[in-house]
Structure 1
Amino acid sequence: MNKFWIILFHTYLNKFKTKSFLITTALTIVITLALTNMNNIIEVFDKSGGKEKVAVLDETGQLYEPLKEQMSVLNKDLQLTAFDGSEQEADDAVEKGEYAGIVLLRFDEKQLPEATYKAMSVADSSLYSDLQTGLQQLKTMLAASQINLTPDQLQQLYEPVSFEKIALEENAKTEEELNQARGLVYVLLFIIYFAVIMYANMIAMEVATEKSSRVMEILISSVSPIKQMFAKILGIGLLSLTQLALLLSVGYFSIKRNLSSLEGGFFDAFGFGNIPISTIAYAVIFFILGYFLYATLAAFLGSLVSRIEDVQQMITPMTLLVVAGFMIAMFGLGKPDSPFIVITSYIPFFTPMIMFLRVGMLTIPVWEAALGIAILLGTIAFLAIFGARVYRGGVLMYGKSNSFKDIKKALQLTKKE
Structure 2
Amino acid sequence: MKGAAWVRGFGAVFRFSFSSKLKNPAYWASVGMIVGAVLFFTNLETIVRYFVDRQGETVIGIGGTPADVQAVLSLAGDPEMQAMLERMHVRLQATFGPAAEGGKAGRAPDAAGGRGPEAALEPAKAAGEAGVASGALDAYVEVRLYPSGRMTGTVLTKTGTNASLNERVTDVFQALQRRLAAERLGLGPEMVSALVDPPPFTYRTLQGGEEDAREQMGLAIGMTYVMVLLLYLFIVGGAGSLVMELIREKSSRFIELVLPSVSPLAYMWAKILAMLGVFVVQYAAAGLILYGVSRRGTVTLFGDSFDLSKMPLDLLGYALLLFVLGYLFYAAIFAAVGSMIARVEEANTATTPVTLLFVLAFIIAMWALRMPDASFVRVLSWLPPFTPLLLFVRIALGSVAGWEIAGIVGLLALSAAALLAFAGRLFRRMILSYEPWSWRRFWQAMRGEASV
Task: Quickly name the TM-score band, shorter chain normalised.
Answer: 0.7 to 0.9
The reply to whether residue 266 of structure 1 matches residue 303 of structure 2 is yes
Separation in 2, partners of 1:106, 1:320: 50
Q: How does 1:350-365 map to 2 (within 5 A)?
A: 350-365=386-401
- TM-superposed deviation, 1:186: 3.5
Per the alignment, in what secondary structure is the counterpart of residue 397 of structure 1? coil
**1:151 counterpart (188, 191, 196):** 188
Per the alignment, in what secondary structure is the counterpart of residue 77 of structure 1? helix
**401 and 188 in structure 1: CA distance in 2 versus 1, 3 angstrom threshold:** same
Q: Which moved more, 1:156-165 or 1:335-344?
A: 156-165
The reply to whether residue 277 of structure 1 matches residue 316 of structure 2 is no
Q: 2:238 is matched with which residue?
A: 199
Q: 1:6 is matched with which residue?
A: 12
Q: Which moved more, 1:382-391 or 1:174-183?
A: 174-183
- TM-superposed deviation, 1:336: 2.8
Separation in 1, partners of 2:379, 2:48: 45
Q: 2:280 is matched with which residue?
A: 241
- TM-superposed deviation, 1:192: 1.3
Percentage of pairs with the same residue: 22
Gaps of 5+ in 2: 1-6, 98-123
- TM-superposed deviation, 1:15: 2.5
**331 and 171 in structure 1: CA distance in 2 versus 1, 3 angstrom threshold:** farther
Q: Which moved more, 1:201-210 or 1:361-370?
A: 361-370
Q: How does 1:51-130 map to 2 (within 5 A)?
A: 52=57, 54=59, 59-60=66-67, 61-69=70-78, 70-72=80-82, 74=84, 77-78=87-88, 101=138, 108=145, 123=162, 124-130=165-171
The reply to whether residue 253 of structure 1 matches residue 289 of structure 2 is no
Q: How does 1:8-407 map to 2 (within 5 A)?
A: 8-38=14-44, 41=47, 52=57, 54=59, 59-60=66-67, 61-69=70-78, 70-72=80-82, 74=84, 77-78=87-88, 101=138, 108=145, 123=162, 124-145=165-186, 150-151=187-188, 155=192, 158=195, 176=214, 181-254=220-293, 256-257=295-296, 259=297, 262-263=299-300, 266-268=303-305, 274-403=310-439, 405-406=441-442
- TM-superposed deviation, 1:135: 1.8
Q: Which moved more, 1:208-217 or 1:332-341?
A: 332-341
* AA in 2 matched with 1:246: A
Q: Provide TM-score, normalisation by structure 2.
A: 0.73
* AA in 2 matched with 1:134: A
Gaps of 5+ in 1: none
**141 and 304 in structure 1: CA distance in 2 versus 1, 3 angstrom threshold:** same
Per the alignment, in what secondary structure is the counterpart of residue 340 of structure 2? coil
**215 and 115 in structure 1: CA distance in 2 versus 1, 3 angstrom threshold:** same
Deviations along 1:266-306, one digit per CA (max 9) or x if unpaired, are 2427x857432222211111111111111122112100122
- TM-superposed deviation, 1:44: 6.0
Q: Is the 8 A contact 2:222 2:301 kept in 1?
A: no
Per the alignment, in what secondary structure is the counterpart of residue 187 of structure 1? helix
Deviations along 1:44-76, one digit per CA (max 9) or x if unpaired, are 656x56784647779445543432324246455
Separation in 2, partners of 1:156, 1:410: 67
Separation in 2, partners of 1:331, 1:265: 15
Separation in 1, partners of 2:314, 2:439: 42
Separation in 2, partners of 1:309, 1:355: 35
Deviations along 1:190-226, one digit per CA (max 9) or x if unpaired, are 2212221111011111112212122221111110011
**263 and 382 in structure 1: CA distance in 2 versus 1, 3 angstrom threshold:** closer
Q: Is the 8 A contact 1:57 1:105 kept in 2?
A: yes
Q: How many pairs does the alignment contain?
A: 406
Q: Is the 8 A contact 1:292 1:380 kept in 2?
A: yes
Deviations along 1:220-250, one digit per CA (max 9) or x if unpaired, are 1110011100100111111111122223323
Q: Provide TM-score, normalisation by structure 1.
A: 0.78
> CA RMSD of the aligned region, Å?
4.3
Q: Is the 8 A contact 1:36 1:255 kept in 2?
A: no
* AA in 2 matched with 1:2: R
Q: Which moved more, 1:405-414 or 1:231-240?
A: 405-414
* AA in 1 matched with 2:176: L
**189 and 108 in structure 1: CA distance in 2 versus 1, 3 angstrom threshold:** closer
Q: Is the 8 A contact 2:61 2:137 kept in 1?
A: no
Q: Is the 8 A contact 1:67 1:134 kept in 2?
A: no
* AA in 1 matched with 2:287: L
Separation in 1, partners of 2:246, 2:256: 12
- TM-superposed deviation, 1:399: 1.8
